[in-house]
């Protein structure tokens, strides 16, 4: 899997349960290793103020810079959680992101990317955001990674179970879901948002 460099992985405001679940969206990956930083680097999603404050109070932050703080514990390699409190369209909003602290400018680039994405005048989602939301919101029992049932060159790609009507439940590659299948997997309130052009 080669994720995009910066990507929104959940549409809406994650509650505490969702937030903790998304902290390790790739926990089931085959052959986990310390070199898996690329899976997490650049992922971000919105949280509520109570979740933001809760994370601030867990441990003293690694650093604080104005409207952001970094968690002291690293997820993998030099990747850690950075929480932002950003004013977007005159509203104070809160975000979690995975930044690579070996790159000193990564948190500032992330702040800019989130602000640009959330300042769009019309709510919209790219195809990639729709797929990431499906992955984030699908229970672990219904998502996984391609293995021996797939061609060897597809091993390790993300999969989801999909109800295929008369065919029953089928295992499909996440990135090969059709537009109709994507709509069926999204919650009703997200199905008909306009398509956004990826930046």
Residue 17 sits in the same domain as residue 88: yes
Residue 167 sits in the same domain as residue 83: no
Give a yes or no: residue 77 inside a domain. Answer: yes
Residue 23 sits in the same domain as residue 96: yes
Give a yes or no: residue 174 inside a domain. Answer: yes
Q: What is the pLDDT of residue 52?
A: 95
Name 121's Cβ contacts closer than 8 Å, sequence gap at least 6. Answer: none
Which residues of the chain are modeled with pLDDT < 70?
Answer: 1-4, 32, 34, 121-122, 188-199
Last residue of a domain, one of 103, 119, 135: 119
Q: What is the pLDDT of residue 33?
A: 72
Give a yes or no: residue 196 inside a domain. Answer: no
Residue 33 sits in the same domain as residue 71: yes
Q: What is the pLDDT of residue 51?
A: 95
Q: What is the pLDDT of residue 2?
A: 40
Residue 22 sits in the same domain as residue 110: yes
Q: CA distances (Å), 124 to each of 2, 106, 199, in order?
A: 23, 25, 12
Last residue of a domain, one of 93, 119, 145: 119
Q: What is the pLDDT of residue 195?
A: 64
When divided into structural domains, the chain yields a total of 2
Q: What is the pLDDT of residue 197?
A: 52
pLDDT tens profile 40-83:
889 999 999 999 999 999 888 888 988 999 998 888 888 999 99
Show the domain range for 155.
Answer: 127-190
Give a yes or no: residue 139 inside a domain. Answer: yes
Q: What is the pLDDT of residue 43?
A: 93
Give a yes or no: residue 197 inside a domain. Answer: no
* pTM for the full predicted model: 0.82
Last residue of a domain, one of 64, 96, 119: 119
Q: What is the pLDDT of residue 189?
A: 64
Q: What is the pLDDT of residue 55?
A: 93
Residue 42 sits in the same domain as residue 136: no
Residue 143 sits in the same domain as residue 111: no
Residue 114 sits in the same domain as residue 153: no
Helix count (H) and strand count (E) of the chain? 7, 9
């Amino acid at each position: 899997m080669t994720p995009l460099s910066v990507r929104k992985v959940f549409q809406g405001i994650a509650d505490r349960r969702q937030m903790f679940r998304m902290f390790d969206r790739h926990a089931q990956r085959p052959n986990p290793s310390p070199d898996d930083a690329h899976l997490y680097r650049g992922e971000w999603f919105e949280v509520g103020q109570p979740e933001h404050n809760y994370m601030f109070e867990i441990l003293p932050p690694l650093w604080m810079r104005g409207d952001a703080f970094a968690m002291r514990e690293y997820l993998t390699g030099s990747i850690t959680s950075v929480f932002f409190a950003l004013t977007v369209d005159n509203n104070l909003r809160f975000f979690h992101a995975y930044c690579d602290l070996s790159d000193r400018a990564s948190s500032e680039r992330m702040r800019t990317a989130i602000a640009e994405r959330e300042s769009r005048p019309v709510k919209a989602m790219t195809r990639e955001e729709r797929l990431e939301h499906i992955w984030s919101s699908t229970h672990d029992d219904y998502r996984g990674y391609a293995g021996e049932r797939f061609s060897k060159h597809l091993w390790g790609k993300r999969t989801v179970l999909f109800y295929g009507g008369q065919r029953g439940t089928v295992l499909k590659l996440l990135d090969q879901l059709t537009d109709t299948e994507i709509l069926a997997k999204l919650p009703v309130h997200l199905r008909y948002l306009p398509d956004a052009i990826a930046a």
